[in-house]
Chain A
Amino acid sequence: MRSRDGNLNFSLSICSVVFLLLSLSTLQADEYLISYRYVVKDATLYNETLHIAKAMKKCVGNPQKELILENNNEDDLKKIISANSIEFIEYLQKLGLHIKHEEVTKKFINKSTTILTLKTTCFEVDFNDNFARIIALK
């Protein structure tokens, strides 16, 4: 005879299945190493590089603020980032950039070079059908 509280074994098994699914979904998140650098010479953009590579070993770090980008069933991070480059670069700038600026004035002629760099940082990327969630690990 079933008790009024419900079947405890059944509810426990459902909870364990849900927990297993959740843990599997977190395991599916990929990790990428991303570095970004851009050079501005005399107030004009001179060079910009964004390197993306899949991490070959597990990253260690505290998760930072997340970024959600639009995704159309894509599982290639490079394509997703190139489609949403402005949002992604603004996100990188928020994370913090290293600034190196040098200015030389010779015979009243000024030349300046500014280099903004994001050192190789690990990102956890969770691909979904309609969006991709990117979390920096620092």
Chain B
Amino acid sequence: MKYSLLLVALISATSLMAEETVMAKNTGLNEATKNIKVCPECTKVESIREVQFVESKSAVEKVLTEGQDIRISVSGQGVAPMNTASPAQAYALAKRAATADAYRLIAEKVKGVRIEGQDLIKNMMVQRSTIRTSVNAMVRNANVVETTFKEGLCEVEMEILISHSQFAQ
């Protein structure tokens, strides 16, 4: 009998404690919401953050709109073959390869890349992993801005100006 009374007393005490903590949490939340509503600076900060987020998003994704041009610049790299007759030939061949790379980069940026991945897993282990990427595009009016040739590596900086009218139908 004594033990049962003690148990009842303990249960009631714990329930009371729990109610108090819930009340305290609720009041804290209310205070916090009150603070948000009352404090104008906090709302300002939030709005600034939102603006910054929108700005950063727009900086990443450029959208071609009417009356606005987008300049895309890339840097392609090419290497001269091992068996060249002269340094001039090596330069010419490396430049050709670098130009192709730059064209490919422009095509990737403008049109996009198709990616296919295939993984073969056997007995919880990767047996074979293959990634295939492909680009198919047509590029015209690309301009070579700068060409540098250093230690067998040729770099071609290329840019293209894209306007809305080119894509309008």
Contacts and interface: CB of A to CB of B under 8 A. Distances in A.
Given A44-B81, A86-B92, A114 B132 contact: no
Contact of B131 (A40, A97, A104): A104
A86 to B, nearest CB: 7
A57 interface: no
B107 A99 contact: yes
A96 interface: yes
Nearest to B135: A101
Interface stretch (B23-31, B51-59, B97-105): B97-105
Given A45-B81, A94-B140, A102 B93 contact: no
Given A97-B103, A98-B138, A105-B131, A43 B97 contact: yes
A107 interface: yes
B130 A105 contact: yes
A99 B137 contact: yes
The contact size tier of chain B is 20 to 34
B136 A45 contact: no
B78 A101 contact: no
Nearest to A119: B138
Contact of B78 (A45, A93, A99): A45
B162 interface: no
Interface of B: 77-81, 92-94, 96-97, 99-101, 103-104, 107-108, 128-142, 144
24 contacts: A40-B97, A43-B77, A44-B81, A45-B81, A45-B93, A45-B94, A45-B96, A45-B100, A95-B140, A96-B138, A96-B140, A98-B138, A99-B100, A99-B103, A101-B104, A103-B132, A103-B134, A104-B130, A105-B131, A106-B129, A107-B128, A114-B100, A114-B104, A116-B103
Given A44-B79, A99-B138, 16 more contacts: A40-B100, A45-B93, A48-B96, A94-B141, A97-B103, A97-B139, A99-B100, A99-B107, A99-B137, A99-B139, A101-B133, A103-B132, A103-B134, A104-B131, A105-B131, A114-B100
